[in-house]
Structure 1
Amino acid sequence: MLEVKGLCKYFGGLKAVDDCSFTVEKGTITALIGPNGAGKTTAFNCISRTMMPTAGEVWLEDQRIDPLRPHKITKLGVSRTFQISRNLADMSVLENVICQSRIHGWRDLMKPAMSKDEIEKAMDILDFLGITRIAHEDGSNLSFGQKKLMDLAALLMSDPKIILLDEPAGGVNPSLLEEIITRIRQLNDRGLTVLIVEHNMNLIMRLSHQVVVMTQGRVIARGRPEEVQKDPAVLDAYLGGALEEAS
């Protein structure tokens, strides 16, 4: 579904992403892992076009998307979350979620701020995620884990084909983390393709079908979790045994 070809992002002499190539198969959960500074989030930013790549190509199915603006990429079916929740201040969870709805044209600007259909769709998503009880809470008052679920709900409002999750487990307590893992797995069971950046190796080993390992901006290994888990170069040089501890 997604193909990254020779992706590069340079900041002066710093090569944050350097000739990075990998694929994400339709209907799978693919993890992009590596040490801090490996270039994972920068690659995410280039794929979603929140950052312009220096070179390389990104393809969604049979269409090249890296020259497109972010809203056009979202319209084609690519949606993402960020490490830090970007909820809008002084707005409820429901309002924050609906803000992510697709805008089909200028006529939408003449409609009410939240249409009946949008409210029903948002509430269905919040129900699926088990957080309808906080629908009318101020988004800034949520716990870190609740904000992660709100971000996931907002992402789903655009009816994506593939979702890019940037550290969904970061700062989340263990019980809520299990909820997030369950929901990601259920979304994948429904046919949604997932690309995930995450440092929690236990989550990666449990959830992903394929693991892509980056360091210093380059892909240095790829394969099934159990294969990557046994790769000496990955264990010794880049992850310091973290994968072994997750087994």
Structure 2
Amino acid sequence: MLQVKELCKYFGGIKAVDGCSFNVERGTITALIGPNGAGKTTAFNCISRTAQPTSGEVWLDGERIDQLRPHKITRRGLSRTFQISRNLADMTVLENVICQSQIGGWRDLLKPAMSPEEIDKAMHLLDFLGISRIAHEDGSNLSYGQKKLMDLAALLMSDPKIILLDEPAGGVNPTLLEEIVGHIRKLNEQGMTILIVEHNMNLIMRLSHRIVVMAQGRVIAEGTPAEIRENPAVLDAYLGGTLEDAA
């Protein structure tokens, strides 16, 4: 479904992503892991076009997308979250979620700021994620985990085919983390394809169908969780210990 071919992103003499190539199969949960500074988030930024690649190609369902603007990539079915919530200040959770609705064109300027259809859709997503009770709370007042769920609801407003999740477990308490894991599984069971960057190795090993490992901007290994756990190159990249110990 998603093909990344020889992707590069250079910052002067720093090669943050250097010839990175991997595929994401339709209907899978694929994890992108690696030590700090491996280039994972930069790769995410290039795939979603929030950063312009230096070179390389990104294909979605047989169409090249790396030369498109971010909103056009979203229209083609790829959406992503960020490590840090980007909620808009002084807006409620519901308003933050609806802000991510797809824009149909100039005629949308004549519609209400929040149409009944958008409100219904947003409330359905908030209910699915178990946070409809805070729909009218100020988004800036939420806990870190609640902001992660709000971001996920906003992501789903665009009806994506594939979602990129950047550290969904980061800073989340264990109880809420299990809820987030459950929601990711449910979305995948419903047919959603998911690419996830995460440092929580326990979560990755029990959630992913396939894992891609990056180090120094390159892909050094791919395989099932069991294969990655025993891969010498991966263990060496994580400073010689187990993946869990390194994380």
Report TM bin, short chain: over 0.9
Q: Is the CA contact 1:235–1:244 (under 8 Å) kept in the aligned structure 2? A: no
Tell me the percent identity. 80
User: Does the CA-based 8 Å contact 2:16-2:216 persist in structure 1?
Assistant: yes
Mapping 1:133-144, distance limit 5 Å: 133-144=133-144
**CA positional deviation for 1:240:** 4.6
Counterparts of 1:221-240 in structure 2, within 5 Å, are 221-238=221-238, 240=240
**Contact 2:35–2:237 (CA<8 Å) still a contact in 1?**
no
Letter in 2 for 1:213: V
Looking at structure 2, the residues matched to 4 and 211 of structure 1 have their Cα atoms a distance apart, in angstroms, of 14
Please give the residue correspondences for 1:92-103 in structure 2 after superposition, counting only pairs within 5 Å.
92-103=92-103
* Matched residue type, 2:11: F
Aligned length: 246
How far the C-alpha of 1:232 sits from its partner, in A, is 1.6
1:162 maps to which residue?
162
Alpha-carbon distance, 1:54 to partner: 0.3
User: 1:34-91: CA deviations, max 9, x gaps?
Assistant: 0110000000000000000000000001100000000000000000000000000000
Residues 121-160 of structure 1 mapped to structure 2, 5 A cutoff? 121-160=121-160
Alignment TM-score, normalising by the size of structure 2: 0.98
Task: Please state whether the residue corresponding to 1:8 is helix, strand or coil.
Answer: strand
> Is 1:47–2:75 an aligned residue pair?
no
2: distance between equivalents of 1:132 and 1:242? Answer: 40
C-alpha displacement at 1:244, in angstroms?
4.9
- Give the CA deviation at 1:237: 2.9
- Aligned partner of 1:116 in structure 2 is 116
Q: Secondary structure at the match of 1:109?
A: helix
Residue segments in structure 2 that go unaligned for 5+ positions in a row: none
Question: Residues 244 and 90 (structure 1 numbering): CA distance in 2 closer, same or farther, change over 3 Å?
Answer: closer
- Tell me: CA distance 1:226–1:239, structure 2 relative to 1, closer, same or farther (3 Å): farther
Which residue identity does 1:108 align to in structure 2? D
TM-score normalised by L of structure 1: 0.98
| SS at structure 1 position matched to 2:238 | helix
Distance in 2 between the 1:158 and 1:15 partners? 32
